[in-house]
A and B are shown apart, each in its own frame.
Chain A
Amino acid sequence: MHLSYSPMFEPKYGSTAEEYEDAFCPQDSSEGASINRFAIADGATETSYSGLWARLLVKAYCDGEMDSADRIPETLESIQKRWKYQLTDRQLPWFAEHKLQLGAFAAFLGLTISPDATKDSVGTWDAIASGDSCLVQIRAETVTASFPLNESAAFNTHPVLLSTDPEALVLAMESLKTMSGDWQSGDRFFLMTDALAAWFFREHEQARRPWEVLRDLEYDETKPFSAWVTGLRNNSEIRNDDVTLYRIEID
C-alpha cells in the first residue's frame, strides 16, 4: 500500500488565517505507507474556541485514540477535558465567560485505510463521522462511496455536531455514523468540509466530474487551491466558509 496525500485549506473570505476554524491531520503533504489515519473537522462559527476543539479531535483520531469503537465515548470525554484544561484560569470578560459555558461544537470525519495482509494492491477502509464533513471515494471515474451525506440537498439542515458540552455530546454520540469499504490501487479519497462537499455533490448531480478538478489542484502551478476557491466564491458557486480538502491517492 502506497499513499500520497495532501491537505489544502482556505479561510473564509473576510477572516484571517488565525480565525480559520477547520482542522486537519496529518498536517503536511507526504507519501508512503506509515501514515494511514486521516481526519478533518469543522469548528462551528457560532461557538467560541471551536477551532481548538476541532484541532484536538483530529489529533486524537490520528494518534489512534479512536481506533476502538467501544472506547470512543471515553476518548471524547478525555478530549473534552483537554479542551477545558487549555482554557482554565483565564480572566474573561462577561460575554466570553457566557460563551465558554455554551461549549464548542465541530463536525468531524475520520478515515483509516488498512492494507490487506497478503496483497499489496487491495485493502479496507473505515470511517467515522458526526455532522456534515464528507468523504467521497473515486474509482475508475465513478463515485463508489460517499459518507455520511450523499446529496447537495442534505446540507440545508442543522447537523448534530460533536460538542464539549457533555449533554450535547450524548446527542451527538447517538448520531455518530460509521462506514466501511474496500479499496484498490488507483482509488482516490477526498475529505471535504461542508461548503466544498455541497459544491461537489451539486456538480455531480449535474452530471459533471468534480473529482477531476480536485485531482489536479496544486499539482499544476496554474491551479492553486486558494485562487480556485476564491473563483467559486466570486461566482456564488460555494458558500463563504472555511474550506478544507484532504486528497488521498492510493498507488
Chain B
Amino acid sequence: MPYSAEINRSNPSCFLFLIDQSGSMSDSFPGEIVKKKSVGVSDAINNLLQNLVIRCAKEEGVRDYFHVGVIGYGTSVGPAFSGALAGKEMVPISEIANSPARIDERTKKVDDGAGGLLEQKVRFPIWFDPIANGGTPMVQALNLAKTTVGSFIAQHPNSFPPVVIHITDGESTDGEPSSAFKELTSLTSADGNVLLFNVHISSNPNATTTAFPDSPAQLPDQYAKTLFEGASFLTPFMRSIASEHGLTVGDGAKGFVLNADLVLVIQALDIGTRPSNLR
C-alpha cells in the first residue's frame, strides 16, 4: 500500500517548500489590511519549522525523521534559508534545530488562571525571511525542486515520498508549468509518488476561497485549473487531518487551495506535513 512507509532515522522523509518571492508578494494578504503576503508566508513557514523541530525533539536531541529544504523564486531561483543555512538545498531537521538565523522574542497571550490574559514572552526562531522582488520563474523553480527531491529519493529510495508545498500568488512568467508539475510528481520512491500541494494566495476578487476541491468545475480561470491539475491527490491520512481542521473533503480531493487566507495557508501546511507514521 503506498504512503505507508515508516518514517524513522534510518529511513527519513523530506519536506520541500517552494516559495514565490516575486514583487507582488509585497501586497497585503486577502482579508488583511496590514500583513504582507511575503511576511505572512514566512511567519507560517518559520512557525511550521519550529513545530517540526519540536515534534522530532527528544531528551537526547533532535531525531532526524525529516530533511527539509526551502526554495525561493523571484529575482533569482535557489535555496532560501537565511543565516548559517544560507545556500543549503536540503538539511536534516537537527541542523534546522541547531542553526536558526536568529531567535526573535515575541509576545503571546496566555490564560492567567483567573479569567484574564497575561502577555508571555516566547522565543521565536527564524530560518526564513520575507522577500518580494522580481518576476515569477515558476518553471525554473519546479525544475530545481525536481532535482532536489530526485536526489533525496536516490539517497532514500524506500522513504515515505517527499512532500512539496508550493506557495504562490501569481502566474508563471517563464512558461506554462503543467509539464513541470507532471515531471515533479512523476518521481517516486518505493512507497509512492512525490506529493505536491499548490497553495494559491491570489487576491483576485472574482474567485472564492476554495480548499481541497475534487473537481476543477468551480475554478475561475485556466491558471487556477493548471494548479489544480498539477497538485496531487490527498492521501487518506491527509484527508483525516483536513477533517480535523473542519474542512469537508471528498475522496478525490486534491492538494490545492485557491485564494487562501493566512489561516488556510497554515492549515494546508499542517495537512501536508503532519507525520502519520513516526517511529
Q: A interface vs B, CB < 8 Å?
A: 12, 14, 18-19, 45-46, 48-49, 93-99, 102, 240-241
Contact = CB atoms under 8 A, between A and B. Distances in A.
Nearest to B93: A95
A98 B54 contact: yes
Interface residues of B, number: 21
B123 A14 contact: no
B125 A94 contact: yes
9 contacts: A19-B60, A45-B279, A48-B57, A95-B50, A95-B57, A96-B59, A98-B50, A99-B57, A240-B8
Contacts, number: 42
B279 A99 contact: no
B55 interface: yes
Contact of B54 (A14, A18, A102, A241): A102
B62 interface: yes
Contacts of B207: none
A95 B50 CA distance: 8
Contacts of A18: 60
Contacts of B60: 18-19
Contact of A240 (B9, B97, B103, B279): B279
A179 B279 CA distance: 31
A97 B59 CA distance: 10
B6 interface: yes
Given A12-B279, A240-B279, A95 B8 contact: no
A48 to B, nearest CB: 5
B66 to A, nearest CB: 14
Contact of B103 (A48, A94, A241): A94
A48 B59 contact: yes
A95 B54 contact: yes
A246 B58 CA distance: 27
Contacts of A102: 54
Interface string B254-279: 00000000000000000000000011
Contacts of A46: 55, 278
B53 A95 contact: yes
B10 interface: yes
Nearest to B52: A95
Contact of A49 (B59, B100, B279): B59
Given A18-B60, A48-B59, A94-B100, 8 more contacts: A12-B279, A14-B9, A14-B279, A45-B278, A94-B125, A95-B54, A95-B97, A98-B54
